[in-house]
Structure 1
Amino acid sequence: ILTLACDACKKFTLHVPSKLDAEKFIGRVNLKECFRSANLIHSSDPDFRVLEDGSVYTTNAVHLSSEKRNFTIVLSNAENQEKKMVVVLEHQTKIEALKKRHSKEKILRRAKRRWAPIPCSMQENSLGPFPLFLQQVQSDTAQNYNVYYSIRGPGVDREPINLFYVERDTGNLYCTRPVDREQYESFELIAFATTPDGYTPELPLTIVIKIEDENDNYPIFTETAYVFTVAENSRIGSTVGQVCATDKDEPDTMHTRLKYSIIGQIPASPTLFSMDPKTGVITTLSSQLDRELIDRYQLKIKVQDMDGQYFGLQTTSTCIINIGDVNDNLPTFTHTPYVTSVEENTVDVEIFRVTVEDKDLINSPNWRANYTILKGNENGNFKIVTDSKTNEGILCVVKPLNYEEKQKVVLQIGVVNEAPYSREATLRSTMSTATITVNVKNQDEGPECSPPTQTVRIKENAPVGTKSGGYKAYDPESRTSNGIRYKKLSDPKGWVNVDENSGSITVFRSLDREAEDIRNGIYNITVVASDTDRRSCTGTLGIILEDVNDNGPSIPKQTVIICKATMSSAEIVAVDPDEPINGPPFAFRLDSDSDSNVQRVWELKKINDTAARLSYRNDLPFGSYKVPIRVTDRQGQSKVTLVNVCLCDCITENDCTTRTPRIGNGDVKLGKWAILAILLGIALLFCVLFTLVCGASGTDKKQKVFPDDVAQQNLIVSNTEAPGDDKVYATNGFTSQVVSSSAQAVCGTMGSGGKTGGQETIEMVKGGHQTLESCQAAGHHHTLESCKGGHVEVDNCRYTCSEWHSFTEPRLGEKVQLCNQNVDGNPVQDYVLTYNYEGRGSVAGSVGCCSERQDDDGLEFLDHLEPKFRTLAETCVKR
């Protein structure tokens, strides 16, 4: 218990046991109230030590022989100002005597109400003796009543149970056993004052008991061992890592003020690392970390509470620091110079291996080598690659060497690491170099075809047996062609023969420069040259065919069309397969030898070196004409081409194919397709006339029916509920019109029936539905949906319409009468169902048998039609 005297800096009283152990916390004094700017604290008694926050600790074991013991705390600051504070240590036995005396004199001495929260605290892990007196709870009503005191709350009737109790009569509050602050920081109790008969003169009193912290917990590192990595050659002050520790004691006190330090290093020398005492951050003290010398350091680190004071609790741990590798060592060749050899004409073979040394980390980018050829490989004969397992450089030949050209090759090679060099190379290059001398060994080689493609020149149409130079191969060792034999390997057209001994060629068949597959006038053959040991090489001989004027100019487009309405001439273009020296300019003229009439009818004028314009002189009739034209090149070679000229009544040339052709003298010529078209037209005309006559004459003989394919138009087949016939019924009295596939057409009167301008529908039992777009109001079109086979316009519609009207009127009336009754004469439902909707809605009335029927035709809309439709309507109206 700590009691503060009335005057600060005079005296503090601490109640302690008679025996105190060393390094024991005994209480806390308020130094700030005494001297706020103090920075030096001194105790007059060496057995006691005072910290910055006012905590008082024993430095040695202390035994209080008397009831009191005093010592002085001297406080001073930088200005040498000084204050003193007296601390009184009282033995706890005196407290019991004070309790008894206070109990006897409480009525006489209570002049002030104390029923209010009184601060109270106790030291954690207290040594007792127990029960330990904490404070006294009293009520002013005890002057007038006999008051009984009681408490409730954590530590009384809740966990931890029975830790505190209060004397019923005196109100003295006791603790029965030590308390751990890390488990219970404080307790909040509720005190009650009641009279023996249960009356409560006071409201419940809340009492807070705070557990004072004792430095009984060691700081603990978060990890048993820390592992960090820092790159070698790092700068001074580079961060390596950070360690951390925790302490369960009360925060923001000296008990949890931790201090970190390094207490050991392996290897011990030199000291390369430091640690921030407050944050635990480890940094480098030197830039001489070298992984190649020492790749790992082990530190022993310590954390201590009480801000590192020697009596603070401490814990140690281990920190492993690995030194990371950087490319600070160059690869170097183990030997130089190197010498090797290779036979000529060998390729894709390994000829030598070079080795390097590198102190950096094996199998890392800082260690792996990249080789390159710096000089001596201008012809691309060599390449060097790295063996991923051994880090050696493998020198290979990728292009054959020729001993006759060069007997020795000196290569300069260099090597670097995959990772860039980390240090500045000021005094030397970052690339190690070495030389490799490659000696080329001679081989007995076969003939050499060099160059691989050779040419000779021969005039086309040269006589058979004409000889010319051919292909030549040679022995690379003797540089002669002695002993070499030649053989023709490929001759696509079989034009030449190759001499076996000399390689010269002889014409076997006539050469044609303008032949097919001859490009740019060059004919290629393949020749094989071999020696006595059957070693061979292959070459190509290109025969350049010199042009001869053996082709006259010709006209590729031998049929031209002249549309008489838009043009009066046609352009004639000539070509010559010979070379330009034997080609244009061309001379054009009409060849009058074959037909003297050509000069009189046609005229030919030259446009440019390769074209002329052909025009007719008089007003020729339409037809096809044959015009012979002779074209002569600059060397006098000529050729006659018979040009077919079609003179048409057309606008464009494509239209001329649909016209009937004529003979050049004006007579008409009919082709087989024209004759077939005329016959088909005549047959169709007879069919139409026969259909109309039969349709009119058959009115009285047999009932007209709708064709079966009518339903295949734009109406679907209706659902028929009873057997039907071929009759047609309309609700508003209009007569239907159908155009069949046989080109028979009938028209009838179209009445509005109160639905003028609407769309009428008809029901066909056999064929399904058909939609008829009836006459519209003035200014609208009149359309008729035709049958599947198409619709045909018939000029005599008025006659067939009258016949159709007389045929359908009596039968439709009978159908209407029978529609309303069944076989027994009773009314029945419609057996004709409404057709399914497939598009636009209909404004016409129902076609059911029970619909409203009208007798008048309803043709008033015909008076408002446009002129061109009024004539059609008058034709179809019944007279």
Structure 2
Amino acid sequence: MIMIFVTANESAKFFGSGLTLTALCCSLSVLHLGVYDKTERQVSLAALNECHGRKLNARSKQDLLVRTKRRWVLSTFELQEEMDVEYPHIISQMFNDKTRGRKSAFQISGEGVEEGLFSINESSGVVFVHRRVDREKKSMYHIEFDVWDRDDHKKLDRELSFDVEVQDINDNAPEFTKVPPPATVLENTKDEDLPLLLEAKDIDQPGTNNSKIAFSVKSQTPKEPKIEAYQVDDRTVQLKLKGCFNYDKAKQYKITVEAKDHGEPQHSSSAVVTLNIKDANNHPPVFKKRKYEAEAWEMKTYKNLLRFGVDDKDTPNTDGWRAKYFFISGNKGEIFQLETDTKTNEGILSIMKETNYEITTFVNLRIGVENIQPLCICKDDKLTCNASSLPPPDSINITVRMIDTNDPPEFKPPTADIYVKEETEPGVLLFTPTVHDVDSSSIRFELSDDKADWVSVDEKTGQIISTKKMDRESPYVDSNGVYKVVIAAVDNGEPPGTSKCTVNIHLSDVNDNVPMLVNNSLIMCGNGDNKVIVSVQDADGDPFSGPFSFSLVDDETVKQHWKLDPAYGDQGGLVMVKALPYGNYSVPLLIKDQQSQISQETLDVVLCECEDNVLLLVLECEKVKTTFEYMDKDEGNQTLIKYNQEGGGADCKAEPTLLTPTSTFIVTDGIKQSYIMKKSEMSPVTYEEVFSTDVNTVSKSLINHNSHVMSLHRERDSHRNLEEHLRSNSSNYQRSLSLWSEQRLEGQIDRKLCVINSNQADHTAYQPFSYAYEGQGSRCQSLDELSLDNLGDDLQFLDNLGPRFTVLGRICHQTMQGKDTQL
């Protein structure tokens, strides 16, 4: 059994320090347990039964009665922080039963020992603390100690240790860790949380009264309305409003919030927060006057007819001050309009609709006013914002005297629709208007709009009568077949009143137009698919127009060379049955609409050879060819002398003459000659092809495929370059066309000369032939009258005929010199 006992000397030391035996017992919370045989298992407690009149708590019993084999079981010493005692101060004493009869030495090490905070008496085992300790810096110290035999310098027992726990005292006040910046709320804020949330912390021991915090509003300026502190948790507080703010009385509040702990003695700290108040709508607008009067003429609009103002005690230029006016009664038909002048806050009354009054009339208007921001009023420290609980908005009465004026006649209806078949004989009564005028009994009618001059109007009755046949296909009729006539009614008032009526005349269609070709002249490529599309138009509408039926005239010669495919539809197709010589052909056609209305049209077909990507140029050349005016620039003009004729030279072609050396006949009509030409055969050379610079004529030339290959390559490259040039710059089309013509002309002449050379291989000199005589073979019925009066005798302009003739002369001259040919 181990016992704890204090010697007289040691007791004297403790008592000398002011400790009683009971106090000593309380300070010693460690039992020094001896080592026994294995069979001994019982431990009895011989001391420390009670301390300060209290039994040991469960923890103390556990600390004192634990035993292990050959080991010291030590407890935790409690040391109060910041003790106001004389230092060094005894906190405990170590004993060991093995020290009996021996010279022993105690030794400690660990936390606080090296720093000089703790020490031990080597002989007695008394443990000292040398200065005050702060729990908030360190709350627990772990110390190891050994017992040595002074004689043999051996340990008497195993290494042991104990802990020194620092007991907390309330030596710290709570500190605010979160204080919000100044906040702003509206004046009409209700009883609710304010945007003010604070946090505080106490660093004393958690879970004790020393660290538990209570919050409160210590003071506020001004004192009303009351602001309270609502504690959210042990560290956070929310400020709340009780009552209503009044911006007129206070615009800012200073609130002091206190945080106090529950320890002994209590400690506290405080923080000051700022709350700004923003004015809101708690004053209703009030009209400056209670009644207003105004005058206005009927059938007129008025902007800013009347102004009226209000007083409002809220802050100017805020939504709680800005007025919003509204009609309570009297604005039937929404004739009047209310607006607010944003600068003066005045109300503006305007008349927005022209209104007719048979007699002078008084209009009574009742107008109210409110603010943009809803109104809230504080009553009995309670904020009321419900409209049903608030007093009604202020209002005024306005009387507007509407003065009667001369009202214009009124057509009933103002727009009329009538239906007439086109081409109806004139003299038909189309429309009789109905007119009402409350101010006048005398009305006259006028015709205000009749663009085609098809009708007349009776001045007294307003009856509209047709004076001419009406054509539905007229440009004055719209796409829906409607012709518009406008009549006016004028009364005898002062000033005269006028009103208008629009009469829509719907013209039903009749079959009064025959089908017509969209284009009477087309180009057919002899080296293509030998087909052209024939487009037709008919001014009539359905069912008097297409689809159409196409047929050829009853002529065997025509039908031997041409056929129609398709022969029915909105378009027809003209197909060449047999290959024909290149030239101009006239094909008579019969076109019939759905109602069997037939027209005979003549389609002029230009049959020619079209090289790749050159058809576009041929078409454009056809357009250029129709111009016969004299031009300074030699681009597309075939006339050397201006003839002073209106329209230029006659549109008549001379037939081409074959340049074969063995015949001198003239081809006047390809169909009559029944001449069939195959594409693989060599083209005969004609006078027109050699000497004409017309691009369309050049396109008719037949290429000798067995000669002059290099010339063909040159032509192909020229065509490609020209096509690219046209795509990139259409404005230079005419100039490009001229250059292309020169190159093409050069190539044609080269090829024709090759043909001539090959045919004249056996001749040493070129012998000219007669190709045609003046007046022979011409299809023209008469010759143009030529007038050269404007030229006089000066023909020097023939000395320089331009680049085309220069190229022609150079080629001919070089070729003839090479053959030693005399011209």
TM-score, structure 1 as length reference: 0.43
TM-score, structure 2 as length reference: 0.46
